[in-house]
């Protein structure tokens, strides 16, 4: 792998059923997969980073990762000068999962009392307002008038979207404290659990305002990898999977 690589993305991808994963390293500036290893352990991620030349590793400025500790440990070991950046895509997923957890809990409680208000509403709470059709928005507004706990959880999730468009780290720190206080006041345990995790990884979240990098490139490559996997109807070996990913997503120089 030649050239300067300044912003890396490290992400996981399901390989087989039964919680079998691969870890993928991407060049966020170049929009390409650099390498793939089995499992998502610290040892595997160290191996992944070591596939870069020592000179290349020293030039890395940031690494976008999930808040998965093995990834962070490997980054600190092999590219200690690089900033960890916990990006919006993973955080949005955690917040969506928390909203859904509140919905499931509340739906069970309402259903036991004969109230079917939340039944069939799962995807309504996962959509962003700008992605709703007129009918979906009208139905959603009707749900929000019911003063549900799920509505409170959704509002807190949606409020946090403003964090990513702030213009400075100082403003982001102030906003995060304001949002955290609102989450605590809600007393909704799934949202509070995500907030507490974010507090523990706040430095990495705030590093977004230094580099403005996200794993959006990685998510796009993951979609392409999913198509590769589906067209092959699965792979018998990791090496076959890795070869196919690098061929189609590695931007290989095929010139003779």
Reading the chain (256 residues) residue by residue, the pLDDT tens digits are 567 899 999 988 877 765 688 899 999 999 999 999 998 899 999 999 999 999 999 999 999 999 989 999 999 999 999 999 998 888 999 999 999 999 999 999 999 999 999 999 999 999 989 999 999 999 999 999 999 999 999 999 999 999 999 999 999 999 999 999 999 999 999 999 999 999 999 999 999 999 998 878 887 888 888 888 888 776 778 888 899 899 989 887 655 5
| Residue 232 to residues 101, 219, 235, 240, 244, Cα–Cα distance (Å) | 34, 20, 7, 10, 10
**Alpha-carbon dihedral 126, 130, 134, 140, rounded to 10 degrees:** 40
- Burial code of 210-221, b = ≥16 C-beta within 10 A, e = fewer? ebebbbebbeeb
**Residue in the block written with tokens 């061929």:** 247
**Residue-level pLDDT at 254:** 55
Q: Which of 188, 183, 133 is nearest to 158 (CA)?
A: 183
**pLDDT computed for residue 202 by the predictor:** 97
SS3 category, 196: helix
**Residue of 34, 40, 38 lying closest to 57 (CA atoms):** 34
pLDDT at res. 213: 86
pLDDT at 61: 97
Residue 240 confidence (pLDDT): 87
Question: How confident is the model at residue 253, as a pLDDT?
Answer: 67
- pLDDT value, residue 18: 58
């Amino acid at each position: 792998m030649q050239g300067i690589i300044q912003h890396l993305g490290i992400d996981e991808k399901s390989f087989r059923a039964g919680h079998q994963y691969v870890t993928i390293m991407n060049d966020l500036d170049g929009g390409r997969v650099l390498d793939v290893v089995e499992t998502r352990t610290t040892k595997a991620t160290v191996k992944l980073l070591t596939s870069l030349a020592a000179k290349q590793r020293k030039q890395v400025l940031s690494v976008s990762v999930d808040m998965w500790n093995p990834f962070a440990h490997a980054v600190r070991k092999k590219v200690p000068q690089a900033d960890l950046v916990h990006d919006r895509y993973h955080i949005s997923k955690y917040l969506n999962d928390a909203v859904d957890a509140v919905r499931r809990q509340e739906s069970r409680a309402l259903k036991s009392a004969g109230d079917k208000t939340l039944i069939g509403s799962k995807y309504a709470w996962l959509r962003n307002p700008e992605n709703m059709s007129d009918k979906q928005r009208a139905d959603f507004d009707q749900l929000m008038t019911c003063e549900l706990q799920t509505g409170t959880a959704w509002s807190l999730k949606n409020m946090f979207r403003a964090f990513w468009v702030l213009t400075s780290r100082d403003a982001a720190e102030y906003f995060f404290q304001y949002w955290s206080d609102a989450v605590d006041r809600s007393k909704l345990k799934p949202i509070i659990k995500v907030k507490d995790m974010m507090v523990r990884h706040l430095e990495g979240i705030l590093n977004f305002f230094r580099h403005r990098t996200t794993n959006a490139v990685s998510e796009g490559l993951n979609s392409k990898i999913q198509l590769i996997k589906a067209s092959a109807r699965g792979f018998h070996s990791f090496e076959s999977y890795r070869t196919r990913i690098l061929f189609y997503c590695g931007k290989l120089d095929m010139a003779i």
